[in-house]
Structure 1
Amino acid sequence: MKTVLSLTLAALLGSAAARPIVVGSKLDPEAQLLGQMIVLTLRGAGLEVTDRTTLGDTGVNRKAILAGEIDVYPEYTGNAVYLFPQAKITPRQAGDPAVIFNLARQLDAKNGVTWLRPANVNNTWVIAVPQSLARAQNLGSVADLARYLKGGGRFKIAGSPEFFGRPDTMPAFEQAYGFRLRADQKLVLAGATPPQTQQAAAQGTSGVNAAMAYGTDGTLAALGLVALKDPRGAQAVYQPAPILRTATLKANPGIEALLNKTFATLTQATLQRLNAQVALEGRPAQEVARTYLRGQGLIK
């Protein structure tokens, strides 16, 4: 019986002699966590994996997967706006989870990249401010922030070069809400992750009183920050999904069911809790991922 099961698993996942599957990820805590979930899920199924998580930002991982330097990494559906500018994706399309996923999947197919099923969470870009500032200036949304800025309110936001430089991030907020930040209102931190920018806002580092953040960050409440709402839908829906080289999937077809099952267990509250364990408690992402996957019965 053991031999039969082994043969069945080998047929499902691909040849054991195939080269290792290389897993990448971005730098922030959630990216590390999701990358480790992919690593551990695949290893748990008996596949040989090379761990190259924390590889770099979106651009670095994107170049790596197109060049065949990595096989899979967790990406976000909303990044289709950034990755495929020629498609001219409308805000309405980007704000619909099913539409933006299907567009990303369709547009990347010609690049030899397959998008698997995303988790039912939204880790979109948000602007976060200290609760004290939000209360004092009645800031609950980016529309409120625009009013505050036009009235000459003091503002300085910490973020990464990607957050300030991509047209679908801070520039999209500016365009949708009719304001424009000056250079001295930005603290650009190379390689910055949301916990670092939020720490800067919470502590008032270099005059900072706002931060780049993500919707599933577990650090916001703990640091006394408020995520401003985006009533005009400047930001796309960002659902995390494993994306992988189509050639790798064809060689190992069982990967799709494995990773779909893992990502299907994730919720907004779950990711916030797990992210906090990495970002606030300082636990290694692999340790947090392993404990979670074992608790879900996904690995031994």
Structure 2
Amino acid sequence: MKRVLVLSLAVTLGSAAAKPIVVGSKLDPEAQLLGQMIVLTLRNAGLEVTDRTNLGDTGVNRKAILAGEIDVYPEYTGNAVYLFPQAKIGAKAAGDPRRIYDLARQLDAKNGITWLKPANVNNTWVIAVPRALAQTHRLNTVADLARYLKAGGRFKIAGSPEFFNRPDTMPAFEATYGFKLRPDQKLVLAGATPPQTQQAAANGTNGVNAAMAYGTDGTLAALNLVALKDPKGAQAVYQPAPIIRTAVLKAHPQITALLNKTFAGLTQATLQQLNAQVALEGRSARDVAERYLKGKGLIR
């Protein structure tokens, strides 16, 4: 029996080693950037890679990796709150970078998914408003926004269905700060990325004066938007990390060191600059990722 199990494992690993490594990613500029960094890093190491970046939102990528349709994609530690609702991860754990990473890693191990080391950045969800609105009404935090809303202040925020529907995103802001948006205060844009929602807020499209955003967005300053602070910690810490099917990692163990090294050099300022090159300058995520990796000596 033991010999049969060993042979079965060998066949499984051999099959995984023979197939191209399929890389996925979400739709926003940073996700595409990180996805391309994974693609380029693996190809530079001589591994055969299929590029399926720009695949879809969190749910799409999650289903794909669990089904074995993709093998690796960049995920965020804070999404453990959403991905593992049965674990009931509290705000204290979600706001601690080390604890939320350890929980994500442990909870996903049983699914055959390995979380590699995250970058030391926090791309958490934020609410962004035009600087003029923030200055006029003294909006520095989400607590200030709650006060503004209760006083009847005009407000309409653009965001994706995921931002409005997931319990750990806008509903978490509402529950933590004690306000509730009406349907007419939301502009739900299917498949929207932060640059699109921020453009809507900057331009006042359809009465919008606020946007869903991420902490590392390079578009905020350029569009003269302000990210409201979250002093009560409604949002989890979102550090990006490559997650990979464990069977694929066992077949290619060198991937751990390769991707850990690529992600280790990323900083908040670096990602903001790289994101801006994609979102504002119109450069492709691949070109920006390749230039960055070559500049750091990570690929040839």
Which letter maps to 2:78? G
2: distance between equivalents of 1:24 and 1:15?
20
How many corresponding residue pairs?
288
Which residue is equivalent to 2:68?
Answer: 68
Which letter maps to 1:68? G
- Runs of 5+ consecutive residues of structure 2 not aligned to the other structure: 1-13
Partner SS for 2:222: coil
1:251–1:209 CA distance, 2 compared to 1 (3 A): same
1: distance between equivalents of 2:176 and 2:141?
12
Partner SS for 1:196: helix
1: distance between equivalents of 2:16 and 2:106?
30
1: distance between equivalents of 2:71 and 2:141?
39
Which residue is equivalent to 2:225?
Answer: 225
Partner SS for 2:199: helix
Q: CA deviation at 1:274?
A: 0.1
Partner SS for 1:22: strand
Q: CA deviation at 1:15?
A: 9.3
Matches for 1:263-278 after TM superposition, within 5 Å: 263-278=263-278
Which residue is equivalent to 1:168?
Answer: 168
Is the Cα contact below 8 Å between 1:138 and 1:144 reproduced in 2? yes
Which residue is equivalent to 1:83?
Answer: 83
Is the Cα contact below 8 Å between 1:198 and 1:223 reproduced in 2? yes
Q: CA deviation at 1:18?
A: 1.3
Which residue is equivalent to 2:138?
Answer: 138
Partner SS for 1:122: coil
Matched, 1:182 2:150: no
Which residue is equivalent to 2:96?
Answer: 96
Q: CA deviation at 1:80?
A: 0.2
Which residue is equivalent to 1:105?
Answer: 105
Q: CA deviation at 1:17?
A: 6.1
Q: CA deviation at 1:262?
A: 0.1
Matches for 1:201-240 after TM superposition, within 5 Å: 201-240=201-240
Which residue is equivalent to 2:52?
Answer: 52
Which residue is equivalent to 1:20?
Answer: 20
Which residue is equivalent to 1:289?
Answer: 289
Q: CA deviation at 1:259?
A: 0.1
> Once the two structures are superposed, what CA deviation does each residue of 1:178-213 show, in whole Å capped at 9, x if it has no partner?
000000000000000000000000000000000000
Which residue is equivalent to 1:259?
Answer: 259
Which letter maps to 1:279? A
2: distance between equivalents of 1:92 and 1:33?
30
1:264–1:17 CA distance, 2 compared to 1 (3 A): closer
1: distance between equivalents of 2:299 and 2:130?
39
Partner SS for 1:73: strand
Which residue is equivalent to 2:11?
Answer: none
1:17–1:247 CA distance, 2 compared to 1 (3 A): closer
1:16–1:192 CA distance, 2 compared to 1 (3 A): closer
Is the Cα contact below 8 Å between 1:156 and 1:208 reproduced in 2? yes
Which residue is equivalent to 2:243?
Answer: 243
1: distance between equivalents of 2:177 and 2:15?
53
Which residue is equivalent to 1:4?
Answer: none
Which letter maps to 1:135? Q
> Once the two structures are superposed, what CA deviation does each residue of 1:146-202 show, in whole Å capped at 9, x if it has no partner?
000000000000000000000000000000000000000000000000000000000
Q: Considering only aligned residues, what root-mean-square deviation do their CA atoms show, in Å?
A: 1.2
Which letter maps to 1:251? A
Which residue is equivalent to 1:9?
Answer: none
Partner SS for 2:220: coil
Q: CA deviation at 1:16?
A: 10
Which letter maps to 2:70? I
Matched, 1:38 2:41: no
2: distance between equivalents of 1:154 and 1:81?
31
Partner SS for 1:164: helix
Which letter maps to 2:235? Q
Q: TM-score, normalised by structure 1?
A: 0.95
Is the Cα contact below 8 Å between 2:21 and 2:50 reproduced in 1? yes
- Runs of 5+ consecutive residues of structure 1 not aligned to the other structure: 1-13
2: distance between equivalents of 1:132 and 1:17?
55
Partner SS for 1:221: helix
Is the Cα contact below 8 Å between 1:16 and 1:47 reproduced in 2? no
15-24 vs 284-293, greater mean Cα deviation:
15-24
Q: Percent identity?
A: 84
Which letter maps to 1:190? A
